[in-house]
Amino acid sequence: GQSLEQPSEVTAVEGAIVQINCTYQTSGFYGLSWYQQHDGGAPTFLSYNGLDGLEETGRFSSFLSRSDSYGYLLLQELQMKDSASYFCAVRGAGSARQLTFGSGTQLTVLP
Amino acid sequence: DGGITQSPKYLFRKEGQNVTLSCEQNLNHDAMYWYRQDPGQGLRLIYYSQIVNDFQKGDIAEGYSVSREKKESFPLTVTSAQKNPTAFYLCASSIKMADISNQPQHFGDGTRLSIL
């Protein structure tokens, strides 16, 4: 089976940098994704890492180390609108390589 | 604009009643999914479909049923056998599924189901 661990809550101030970690255990691995969900809304895709290293998309970056079964999402220049839940998700070894989501990290950005 | 439409936004179920949640997409995606989200939790996969007329159970399929008669539609029925149906239900789609490349999922706005 698959399991993912990420912190339940993170708090930071506007303009700061925050890192949300994700460790996973999976039989087979086809990439780590990150999704953002504002309260009661639709999750939206943020980033994907299929190989080791850093992927950068504007203020957001995501990192993967397959040997450590570890990844993180880095959010820079935090804005109030970044307050949301962030989920890591792995594509595993099932024949359909379906996503398994972590429980999410609630990020609160303070003024 | 292309997207995924879920309806209704809120739904109430009586004891012993089956209810059906609608999900329609106009993204021309082959794969569709249903997830359940409980407060403060992640998304758990109920059912998925890789192609028309085919669907597979996810991790928590008991008490649910689906159909995939058209590419753009993937309705979910919450049956009376599902004893704890109160949750937020999210439908998603992606271009295809069983591929090693990234296949980001696009989500609808969800249906919030409650018991009366």
Whether the per-residue pLDDT at B64 is higher than 70: the answer is yes
* Interface A:B, Cβ pairs < 8 A: 64
Residues 6+ apart with CB under 8 A from B111: B6, B7, B8, B9, B10, B11, B21, B88, B89
Residues of B within 8 A of A95 (CB-CB) are 98
Task: Note the pLDDT of residue B98.
Answer: 64
Q: What is the mean pLDDT of chain B?
A: 92
Is B36 or A26 the better-scoring residue by pLDDT?
B36
Predicted local distance difference test score (pLDDT) of residue B83:
87
pLDDT digits (tens, 9 = 90+) for A44-97: 999 999 999 999 989 999 999 999 999 999 999 999 999 999 999 998 766 667
Q: Which of B88, B111, B85 is nearest to B5 (CA)?
A: B111
Residues B74, B66 contacting (CB under 8 angstroms): yes
> pLDDT at position B108, please?
97
Residues in chain B with CB shorter than 8 Å from the CB of A99 are: 45, 105
Nearest to A60 by CA among A69, A51, A68, A72: A72
Q: Does B99 touch chain A (CB under 8 A)?
A: yes
Nearest residue on chain A to B104, judged by CA atoms?
A45
Task: Give the mean model confidence (pLDDT) for residues B81-88.
Answer: 92
CB contact under 8 A, B102 and A33: yes
